[in-house]
């Protein structure tokens, strides 16, 4: 299973699966969901029901790696790994190339109002339903220059004429490529998590993807945004 790690922000979401220095996390143990004094909502831990704890498909304190398994976030988002498939697809922009690796479909349920609010804010999608599907897309980026490059990662993911996900709504990139970048002559793994609306889940066989521009440490553009490529799932 592929993951990109950032020391400040680790996103392992089915979305709502956000770890920010321990503020949001998966949960494998029952917790105290009662307020004490002026405890903020972000500190309230969701009590995982005993039926989940006893389930053979429940994964404690980890992201599920087997299809059908699931975990529950601290806020109360159930994250179930529905599909895990390799991808094929390559695109190049100037001295920077990208190779798609893997896609994981995550079926999620926000079990509390707080959980739903966290997910909606994280994805910047105010109308996100309680039950939703997300795709975690993994890829390699290769820097064929003699300088470190920085990039947001994925610019857009689309499933049809209307369902276009961007960083303004429905799409989150891992932080490592924009924080640490890609060293000269090296290949770095990147990933993005995108919302897959219900109408697109029904016939999810292809998607389109564009990668964002890259820049050097001085802010000068190294490569333009890639052309859109169609990927078979």
Whether the CB-CB separation of 119 and 11 falls below 8 Å is answered with: no
- Which pLDDT value is given to residue 128? 94
SS3 annotation, 149-214? EEECCEEEEECCCCCEEECCEEEEECCHHHHCCECCCCEEEEEEEEEECHHHHCCCCEEEEEECCE
Whole-Å CA distances, 92 to 61, 97, 102, 119, 172: 38, 4, 18, 33, 22
CATH of region 9-232: 2.60.40
Per-residue pLDDT 10s for the chain (233 aa) are 333 333 223 333 444 444 333 333 444 433 333 323 333 445 568 999 999 999 999 998 888 999 999 999 888 999 999 999 999 999 999 999 999 999 999 999 999 999 999 999 999 999 999 999 999 999 999 999 999 999 999 999 999 767 899 999 999 999 999 999 999 999 999 999 999 998 888 878 899 999 999 999 999 999 999 999 999 98
- Which pLDDT value is given to residue 62? 85
Rounded CA gap, 41 and 31, in Å?
A: 14
Domain ranges of the chain: 9-232
SS3 136: strand
Q: What is the DSSP letter of 138?
A: E
Rounded CA gap, 50 and 217, in Å?
A: 51
Whether the CB-CB separation of 190 and 139 falls below 8 Å is answered with: yes
Whole-Å CA distances, 20 to 8, 17, 31: 7, 10, 19
């Amino acid at each position: 299973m592929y993951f990109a790690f950032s020391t400040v922000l680790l996103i392992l979401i089915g979305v709502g699966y956000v770890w920010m220095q321990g503020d949001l996390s998966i949960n494998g143990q029952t917790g105290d969901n009662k307020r004490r004094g002026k405890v903020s909502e972000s500190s309230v831990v969701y009590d995982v029901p005993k039926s989940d704890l006893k389930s053979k498909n429940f994964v404690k304190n980890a992201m599920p790696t087997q299809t059908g398994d699931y975990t529950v976030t601290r806020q109360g988002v159930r994250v179930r790994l529905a599909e895990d498939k390799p991808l094929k697809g390559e695109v190049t922009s100037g001295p920077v190339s990208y190779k798609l690796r893997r896609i994981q479909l995550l079926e999620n349920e926000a079990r509390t109002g707080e959980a739903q609010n966290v997910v909606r804010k994280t994805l910047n999608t105010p109308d996100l339903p309680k039950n939703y599907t997300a795709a975690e897309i993994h890829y390699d980026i290769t820097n064929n220059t003699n300088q470190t490059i920085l990039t947001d990662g994925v610019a857009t993911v689309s499933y049809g004429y209307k369902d276009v996900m961007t960083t303004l709504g429905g799409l989150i990139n891992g932080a490592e490529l924009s924080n640490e970048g890609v060293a000269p002559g090296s290949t770095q793994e990147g990933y993005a998590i995108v919302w897959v609306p219900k109408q697109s889940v029904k016939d999810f066989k292809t998607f389109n993807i564009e990668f964002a521009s890259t820049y050097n440490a001085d802010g000068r553009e190294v490569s333009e945004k890639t052309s859109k490529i169609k990927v078979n799932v």
